[in-house]
Amino acid sequence: MSETENATHAALIQAVAAGDRGAFVVLFGYFAPRIKTFLIKRGASAAEAEEFAQEAMLSLWRKAGQFDPARATAAAWIFAIARNLRIDAQRRTRPLPEPDPALAPDPAPGADALLAEAERALRVRAAIATLSGEQAEALRLAFFDERSHSEIEAALGIPLGTVKSRLRLAITRLRAALGDLA
């Protein structure tokens, strides 16, 4: 396309932006068949290509004020509109991929699993009840309240070494009492 044609098309788009229907008719007559051919060469059916060409020209009418001749030629801008319309349509009609079974949420647990979990919870509570008050408190702060050792030290007002000793003793006793659950 020559410089003169580019300048003419750019001027016509600016006229369309001002509402000139005659300029639009000239652009439509020139670009609509070329867009249709462009899209057919890229795999669109004749009916689809015709539809996209009309949509592209309608977009030109609506968006003519956004055209910047410093950024692209008139032809490049118009063909980009057509290409993007087709890509958007393909995205809308593309089937969604099959979900990956590995990423699916686990099904709801059965009654037997819920009963077994409740029995385990009772055994753990009973084992914790056998611990000394200091060990049970340190264990509760560490594992149920998710506090760090230094936070437990501050909360209980005891040395860090004592916190670690109480936790180690509590875990050792729980392992002995609940060994078959591991």
What digits encode the pLDDT tens for the residues 37-51? 999 998 888 998 999
Percent of the chain with pLDDT over 90: 55
User: Where residue 1 falls among pLDDT bands split at 50, 70, 90?
Assistant: low
* Residue-level pLDDT at 79: 92
Domain span(s) for CATH 1.10.10.10 in the chain:
111-181
For domain 111-181, the question of CATH label 1.10.1040.10 is answered with no
pLDDT at 182 over 70: no
Mean pLDDT over each residue of the chain, to the nearest integer: 89
Domain span(s) for CATH 1.10.1740.10 in the chain:
3-93
* CATH class label, 3-93: mainly alpha
pLDDT at 55 over 90: yes
Q: What is the rounded CA–CA span in Å between residue 11 and residue 67?
A: 10
What digits encode the pLDDT tens for the residues 90-131? 888 877 777 777 777 777 878 888 888 898 889 888 988 999
